[in-house]
Amino acid sequence: MKEQNNRSEFTIGLDLGERRHRFCALNGKGEVVEEGSVLNDRASLARLTARYGGALAVMEAGAHSPWVSRYLEGLGWEVIVSNPRKVRAIYQHERKSDRRDALMLARIGRMDRALLYPVRHGSEEAQQDLLRIKLRDSLVRARVALINSVRFSLKSLGYGVSNPSSERFHKVAMESLPEVVREMIAPSVQALAELSARIAVLEREISLLARTKYPQTLWLQQVLRSRSNHGALLCVEDRRPEAF
């Protein structure tokens, strides 16, 4: 606790939201000195940090905690990101209250940091690598859904499509169909062609990323007997090469 007091007497509990973040500031005596909310943007957070230089901030892990925690640390705050499931077990209330959540996070952070079960966010670069993989997977799911839609539409009209790979579906879907039917499915087939092209570009980028930044994925792909991105996903999420 002495180390924390040397840094700053203030502890700030932050309940992160989509549009606004609720905050509660405690002084060195554990007294509430300010409560309020700030917009979910960098300028508003910067104004808050200016009022409480070098404070300890406590927040739960969530959609915004990676960038918010990195930003606050860059402005000189110490940040603890807590495990929400563990922390909620301590103070869970039947009625959700952002004000209460911010207060309890601040009090727990001031009392015993171990009770927060801190989690570690990686760098922004690692997060971008992970998002690249997840966005590619989203495109793949969109392609599968569109293929199924085209296939079922043709089936309802009494036409079938062979079973090519997803990458080749747009190349064979128009074969042996009447002109009126081809015109009907043409927009979807064109969208499939574009999706496949975008997916191919992302796969090349991810493959290069795996070879240059996460070489341990090559070993994982051998173990998984797959050319999938699962190995890269595991490595980026863990962020510790020695774990593999």
Sequence-separated (6 or more) residues with CB below 8 Å from residue 100: 91, 93
Of 82, 83, 81, whose CA–CA distance to 70 is shortest?
A: 81
Higher pLDDT among residues 171 and 237, named by residue? 171
**Residues paired with 112 in a beta bridge:** none
Give the Cα separation of 9 and 109 in Å (integer). Answer: 12
Query: What pLDDT score does 105 carry?
Result: 95
Residue 88 has pLDDT above 50, yes or no: yes
> What angle separates helix 216-224 from helix 230-238, to the nearest 10 degrees?
130
DSSP 229: S
Check if the beta carbon of residue 80 is closer than 8 Å to that of residue 13: no
Closest listed residue to residue 186, CA positions, set 153, 138, 144: 153
SS3 154: helix
The values of phi and psi at residue 60, to 5°, are -90, 150
Whole-number pLDDT of residue 24: 98
Q: Assess whether pLDDT exceeds 60 at residue 139.
A: yes
Task: Tell me what percent of the residues of the chain surpass a pLDDT of 90.
Answer: 61
Contact 2, 46 (CB under 8 A): no
Q: Tell me: the pLDDT tens digits for 157-191?
A: 999 888 888 989 998 999 889 999 999 999 999 99
pTM of the entire predicted model: 0.74
The average confidence (pLDDT) of the chain is 86
Q: How far is the first Cα of the chain from the last one, in angstroms, to the nearest whole number?
A: 36
Secondary-structure breakdown of the chain: helix, strand, coil percentages, each rounded to the nearest 5: 60, 10, 30
CA separation for the pair 96, 111 (Å, rounded): 22
